[in-house]
Structure 1
């Protein structure tokens, strides 16, 4: 799901660490031998026969919805998707709420925690007119993939925004131009931000860095507070820190707003001021 160039940075790091990545495998067979566990697979037209110590299989998770008597209390569910809820996290039985992986596509611990807080407010403090309710539509959910370097994201990708008919301005700033990242030897990565064209409204952001999971929070706070990217350009960041990449990508965006027309106008203004 991540941007291709973000994934490629992580891939190159894995290859440097001696990790062999076989994609699009076909005819996968696994057997146990005296030397360990044998795996044969075809990948990109090449046959591989590999013996390893252990095999870790990622098969995903299924919602725990069976055997709970949900049918008895009128709670609709799907064995693959989970419990059906509205944006207030109410099930089809309005007196029963759900939160977490069992009812939400973003299956993260921090997302479940945020939804649990919503459930407490919506279930314990209901209002006949719906006032005071909180909605999942208001959630700003960042996430991080803890590779080395990490990939962190919040909001929409550029393709998501365009699919919704939004025009987007995208700006990227590389870590190899951030002094602290260079000093730490962690300059393989970037910060990228998408804003609604002609405005400073942040639609989404991606960071590839060794501390991306920490750095992404600045974008999350701004999006939740409804503040634009120009807020970062006027915010002082301590030097030298890797968080400067956020200030620098915001400054890079600011430069793109200086159109030729604005430049001509400023030139005339400065000439007049002389």
Structure 2
């Protein structure tokens, strides 16, 4: 039976855009359906605006503390409206890359509207019934809102509204201490807002190595950010024009509330039951080929739950494209998935944590190199943090965790090594001095030192050899 398209992509975020553009360039007939704006969370309320705001706050912090370098300035004045204007300028600069016109230029038919499946092979949008050889669901996710008494009535912000602020809130309570909460908490504090970070757990950034997270927490406390751990917000009230947040039995008066308590997949309007696609509260169920329970429907990006990062959505898109257009042969491999949290200091990781590795292997070793021993870190005045490698006895890299200046850049050397199954000895190669990248090479050298320290036979042999040479 003839169909309208080779591929229908539902959702114009990072994953959907990659699938649509690449498929069209391969001469497939592609329709891209988006209910709002192309670019998704990353462009409008995620990566792009948050990193722009973080950069503004970083500069504010550096200027405020420049006296340690012998540079004195008058009292730093922060124009919050202009800082937010800069964020919007960056979005406007990048937006043409995700514009409908650009994708139509690739040959993609861009359709704006909210649609739904009406059966296993038909998607309806704007009253049109569209069929295709294959479908890709890439509808992304949205902020999860916890069921807190009074929260909706009093009002709150999420990452979807916070970058539209034009006036700085004098005080801000942040519910959630994951990457979004920590990044925005530090950024707002550095721009002049009094910030209280509320975590339901005993660790900020709970997916990270505890000792790496602790470095970030220490910096937060040093700067003056208030942290409440092991507690939850029970209710919210409005009192005398302010918002009263009850953290357990502790009342907290603030001007604004930012909810950063996780993400929920955007699935409700798709009528997935009619399409034979199963899912749960975390996302759509897929196999290793990213097929749903309907083999002609694929999914990628945040809508799967799991790794909710733009770079992972793009990777998943690269798996979906050949599988959906030709034959479903490619499988995902999540062995080497890096990510970073752009606090100061930055925190980046790839692979297993130490605890995960010890559960899986019985020959785990840990190498840890402090930034304090890296000359460039000292020169830049950023000696806090470390690089931690989890390896096996033969040098296989199981995971790496870097917390410190430029950690998000430094992790990529490790990603390359792990991707090609290189041993940690590969990182001992020449590194320019003085650079922060020496943290990787020095960590790798620790294994050589450890092996030498344990090899008493070699030490005695060398001692005998040098005694003999001295007598010649």
Distance in 1 between residues matched to 2:282 and 2:397, nearest whole Å: 30
* Paired position in structure 2 for 1:213: 408
1:249 aligns with 2:443: yes
Query: Kindly tell me: are residues 138 and 19 of structure 1, through their superposed partners in 2, closer, same or farther at Cα, counting changes over 3 Å?
Result: closer
Query: Kindly tell me: are residues 40 and 84 of structure 1, through their superposed partners in 2, closer, same or farther at Cα, counting changes over 3 Å?
Result: closer
Which of 258, 261, 264 matches 1:59?
A: 261
Question: In 1, are the aligned partners of 2:335 and 2:351 still within 8 Å (CA)?
Answer: no
Mapping of 1:69-218 within 5 angstroms?
A: 69-78=271-280, 80-126=281-327, 133-137=329-333, 139-197=335-393, 199-218=394-413
1:21 aligns with 2:217: no
TM-score (norm 1): 0.88
Residue 107 of structure 1 and its aligned partner are, at CA, apart by: 1.0
Query: Kindly tell me: are residues 272 and 104 of structure 1, through their superposed partners in 2, closer, same or farther at Cα, counting changes over 3 Å?
Result: farther
Question: In 1, are the aligned partners of 2:377 and 2:405 still within 8 Å (CA)?
Answer: no
Distance in 2 between residues matched to 1:189 and 1:33, nearest whole Å: 42
Distance in 2 between residues matched to 1:256 and 1:266, nearest whole Å: 16
1:33 aligns with 2:239: yes
Structure 1 residue matching 2:259: 3-state secondary structure: coil
* Paired position in structure 2 for 1:130: none
Once the two structures are overlaid, the 10-residue window that deviates more, 15-24 or 251-260, is 251-260
Distance in 2 between residues matched to 1:114 and 1:166, nearest whole Å: 32
1:228 aligns with 2:423: yes
Computed over aligned residues only, the root mean square deviation of the Cα atoms, in angstroms, reads 2.0
Distance in 1 between residues matched to 2:408 and 2:218, nearest whole Å: 20
Residue 134 of structure 1 and its aligned partner are, at CA, apart by: 2.7
Question: In 2, are the aligned partners of 1:10 and 1:149 still within 8 Å (CA)?
Answer: yes
TM-score (norm 2): 0.53
Segments of structure 2 that go 5 or more residues without pairing to the other structure are 1-206
Once the two structures are overlaid, the 10-residue window that deviates more, 186-195 or 91-100, is 91-100
Residue 231 of structure 1 and its aligned partner are, at CA, apart by: 0.7
- Measured against aligned partners, the alpha-carbon deviations of 1:136-180 in whole angstroms (never above 9, x if no partner) come to 235511011111111111000111111123420101010001011
Structure with the greater alpha carbon radius of gyration: 2
Segments of structure 1 that go 5 or more residues without pairing to the other structure are 128-132
- Measured against aligned partners, the alpha-carbon deviations of 1:7-41 in whole angstroms (never above 9, x if no partner) come to 11111100111101011225733211225212232
Distance in 1 between residues matched to 2:384 and 2:225, nearest whole Å: 18
Structure 1 or 2: larger helix share? Answer: 2
Distance in 1 between residues matched to 2:315 and 2:331, nearest whole Å: 11
Question: In 2, are the aligned partners of 1:101 and 1:108 still within 8 Å (CA)?
Answer: yes
Once the two structures are overlaid, the 10-residue window that deviates more, 263-272 or 202-211, is 263-272
Between the two structures, name the one with larger relative contact order (CA 8 Å, sep ≥ 6): 2
Distance in 2 between residues matched to 1:73 and 1:36, nearest whole Å: 47
Distance in 2 between residues matched to 1:117 and 1:92, nearest whole Å: 20
Query: Kindly tell me: are residues 155 and 26 of structure 1, through their superposed partners in 2, closer, same or farther at Cα, counting changes over 3 Å?
Result: closer
Distance in 1 between residues matched to 2:313 and 2:379, nearest whole Å: 37
